[in-house]
Amino acid sequence: MSDRTWDWNPSEEYLTEGLPPGVVAEVERLATELAALGPDSVRVGRPVDREGGLREFDFLAGRGFISFLAVPRHECVYVCHITWSG
């Protein structure tokens, strides 16, 4: 288990505006799981051919995805964008 955390970037209000509560809950669950991966979170999702940078991860059977940034020196995963096509 990791001591890393996650946060919204820019803000929860901005990123979740208009999204169903279940979608927000799933994003929060995924962000918690990504933070728990610790340093390995820089390799999760797309792009698959390199580490670091802005990453994408599908959720809810491909009906949406999150873009996140894992910053090892901050020991934090930042959720930067949510796309929902539900």
Neighbours of 68 (CB within 10 A): 26
* 36, part of any domain: yes
Confidence of residue 3 (pLDDT cuts 50, 70, 90): confident
Confidence of residue 86 (pLDDT cuts 50, 70, 90): confident
Q: Looking at the 3D structure of the chain, how many domains does it have? A: 1
* 53, part of any domain: yes
Task: Note the pLDDT of residue 67.
Answer: 97
Domain region containing 53: 5-79
Task: Note the pLDDT of residue 1.
Answer: 53
In terms of DSSP H, where are the helices of the chain? 12-16, 21-36
* 40, part of any domain: yes
* 86, part of any domain: no
- For 26-50, the pLDDT digits (tens) are 999 999 999 999 999 999 999 988 9
* 85, part of any domain: no
* 28, part of any domain: yes
* 84, part of any domain: no
Look up residue 66 and give its two tokens: 């999150």
Task: Note the pLDDT of residue 2.
Answer: 63
